[in-house]
Chain A
Amino acid sequence: MEFWRVPLDTNTIEIAHGEVHIIEDRCKGCGYCIEFCPRSILAFAERFNAKGYHPPEVLRPEGCVNCHYCEIICPEFAIFSVAAPPPAPTA
């Protein structure tokens, strides 16, 4: 179910890597980004933001494929991804 939407950037998917940015205080905690991230790399943070919601946090930054889905499903303009160099070859 997590992969029900194939990321758009299929031609670059092998090397695509993204960096997620969260504007925490805009988040209203709907959980859409967390639920529908195709790589399941987001989760609710323990802490609260200024409005009293749990914003998402990135569990596995290296897993982001810069598909932007979190960005376009978020109703709050609170999360987005940008292209990033591939993670350092630690793994």
Chain B
Amino acid sequence: MPATARKTMPKTPDHPLEALIRSDRIPHIWCPGCGIGTAFAAALTAMATSGLDLQKTCMVSGIGCSGRAAGYVNLDSFHTTHGRAIPFATGLKLGNPALNVVVFSGDGDLFAIGGNHFIHAARRNMDLTVICLNNLNYGMTGGQVAATTPFHARTTTTPMGNPEAPFNLPLLAWASGATYVARWTILHTRELTECIQKAIRKSGFSFIEVLGPCPVNYGRRNKEKSLQTLKMYQERTIIRNDPRMDDLEVDFTRQVVLGEFVDKDRPTCIENYDKTCRILE
């Protein structure tokens, strides 16, 4: 009980992430059991332990439930327009290459309306860390089909089941040229945190997909309570470090592959620009 804790401690300690969150804005807007909070906390822990100068570290989000993340981090933080977190972040980074720029947003934001920006930022190897909370639907607007919704899943705009195929996000990131690609669920939060930390410290375009439940909109329509979703994350996932990239569909009727899929180096956009375009006297 907390009461016993208080008895033995002169003062209740603060939550270890207290300094990094805008605690005057907590509780956040996310629903009970929503996976965003856990993924967000993992990102904050990764930032806090990365050894980076946090004053030079910013978070950029787009629109949607996950897009609210920027509003809770006590760093320079930018809540932009729908789909445009990556190009905004690109300008931020190019304008001041000393900044560490982390993009935290949702699957709808980054891969439907913002899909074009994602592939181009990966192609040019912009030095960004992009964390995508993938909850398989548009949560903020009430649970519509997304570019990540599994085949046959029910959403408010696919009441008979989704007739379309979802993106394989790590494959897309790899094919576009990302130098770091990993996927975890919020249950695998230690591995997730380690990978985010690695991604932030690494230069170049890094992408981390985090599977997290949206119990209120996706879960409810697909008969999954949030705890059940987490148990599914436990039972129907397998960690593989050198998988076939085309084998990474999110299909929980089979097994979903987690792990660190890409970790390579190539010159970043800024390095190439400096070498190619800045002719030094």
> In the complex they form, do A and B come into direct contact, defined as C-beta atoms under 8 angstroms apart?
yes
Contact between chains at B227 and A76 (CB < 8 Å): no
Min CB distance A75 to B, Å, is 3
Q: How far is the CB of A60 from the nearest CB of chain B, in Å? A: 11
User: In the assembly, what is the distance between CA of A1 and CA of B47, in Å?
Assistant: 31
Is B17 within 8 A of A22, CB to CB?
no
**Interface SS of B by simple majority:** helix
Closest chain A residue, CB of each to CB of B44: A77
Tell me the smallest distance from the CB of B188 to a CB of chain A, in Å.
Answer: 9
- Pairwise interchain contact A75-B35, C-beta atoms closer than 8 A: yes
Contacting pair A32 B190 (CB below 8 A): no
Residues of B close to A72: CB separation below 8 A? 38, 41-42, 45, 189-190, 193
By the criterion CB–CB under 8 Å, are A19 and B5 in contact? Answer: yes
Interface size range of chain B in the complex: 35 or more
Q: A36-B187, A57-B1 are in contact. Are A75 and B30 (CB under 8 A)?
A: yes
Interface residues on A, range: 20 to 34
Q: Sample 29 A-B pairs with CB under 8 A, ordered by A number.
A: A8-B190, A19-B8, A20-B5, A21-B5, A21-B12, A26-B27, A30-B32, A30-B226, A32-B230, A35-B230, A36-B187, A36-B230, A53-B32, A58-B2, A61-B5, A69-B189, A71-B15, A72-B41, A74-B41, A75-B33, A75-B34, A75-B36, A75-B40, A76-B28, A77-B21, A77-B23, A80-B16, A82-B13, A84-B8
B interface residues, Cβ below 8 angstroms from A: 1-2, 4-5, 8-9, 12-13, 15-18, 21, 23, 26-28, 30-38, 40-42, 45, 186-187, 189-190, 193, 226-227, 230, 234
